[in-house]
Chains A and B, each alone.
Chain A
C-alpha cells in the first residue's frame, strides 16, 4: 500500500522533508520502523513515537493505510 508519512521537528530535519509517500508491504508499526531506519539510518539513535490517524500507536499495531506521523519528543508550552 501507499503510505503517507509526515515528519516533525528534529525528525523532519533528519529526513530533510516534511512529508513523503512510501510503498509499504509489511504488516505492523514495528515493520514500518525497520523500513524507516533502513532509509534513514540516523533514526536508529533518535527517540520518536509513531502516530497513525492522529493517535500514538505501539509497535505491534497493524498499519492501516491511514496517515502516519513520526513524532520526536514533545516540547510544547
Chain B
C-alpha cells in the first residue's frame, strides 16, 4: 500500500466522449502499455411500473467515497499487473444515454486488463457510498439500489 493521498474521483455532470477520448490520447506516450480496457457506465431509461427514467441525480459521501476509491485502486494494483488506472464518477444530474462512470485500466498484457476491470467495477458498485436518485419523465423520483 502506498501512502499517496486519495484523488478526487468525482466530476460534475456527465463524463463526455471528448474527455474519454483525451484520456486515451494521453496514454500514447506510455509505450510499455500493450492493452487498455475501458468500462463506461451509461444511464439507462428504465421503465418502472410504467414510468420511464429520464436522468439520475448522483450524490455521494465524498470524503468516504474518495477513500474507498483509493483503497480499491491500491488493492487492484496489488492484485493485477497494471501500468495505470483511472476512475471518474459523475455527481449531479446525468441524463439517460450519458456516461456516469468511466474506469480505464492499462497493462502490458491483455489478460490482466480483462480481469482487473471487472474487479474494479464490482468493487465500486459494492463499496463506494454513492447514491443515485432516478428521476422520471413526470419529475417524480425513486432511489436506485445496486443489485
Which residues of A line the B interface, CB within 8 A?
6, 8-10, 51, 54-55, 69, 71-77
Contacts and interface: CB of A to CB of B under 8 A. Distances in A.
A59 to B, nearest CB: 19
A55 B68 CA distance: 9
Interface string B101-143: 1000000000000000000010011111111110000000001
Contact of B128 (A51, A69, A73, A74): A74
Interface of B: 41, 58-61, 63-65, 67, 89, 100-101, 121, 124-133, 143-146
A74 B64 contact: no
Contact of A77 (B59, B61, B124): B124
Given A6-B61, A9-B131, A77-B128, 13 more contacts: A9-B59, A10-B143, A51-B61, A54-B63, A54-B67, A69-B129, A73-B146, A74-B127, A74-B130, A74-B145, A75-B130, A76-B101, A76-B146
B131 A10 contact: yes
Nearest to A18: B59
Contacts of A54: 61, 63-64, 67
Nearest to B146: A75
Nearest to A69: B61
Contact of B100 (A8, A55, A72, A77): A77
A71 B100 contact: no
In the complex, the 4 A-B pairs of residues with the closest C-beta atoms, listed nearest first: A76-B130, A9-B131, A75-B144, A54-B64
Contacts of B61: 6, 8, 51, 54, 69, 71
9 contacts: A9-B59, A54-B64, A74-B131, A75-B131, A75-B132, A76-B128, A76-B129, A77-B128, A77-B130
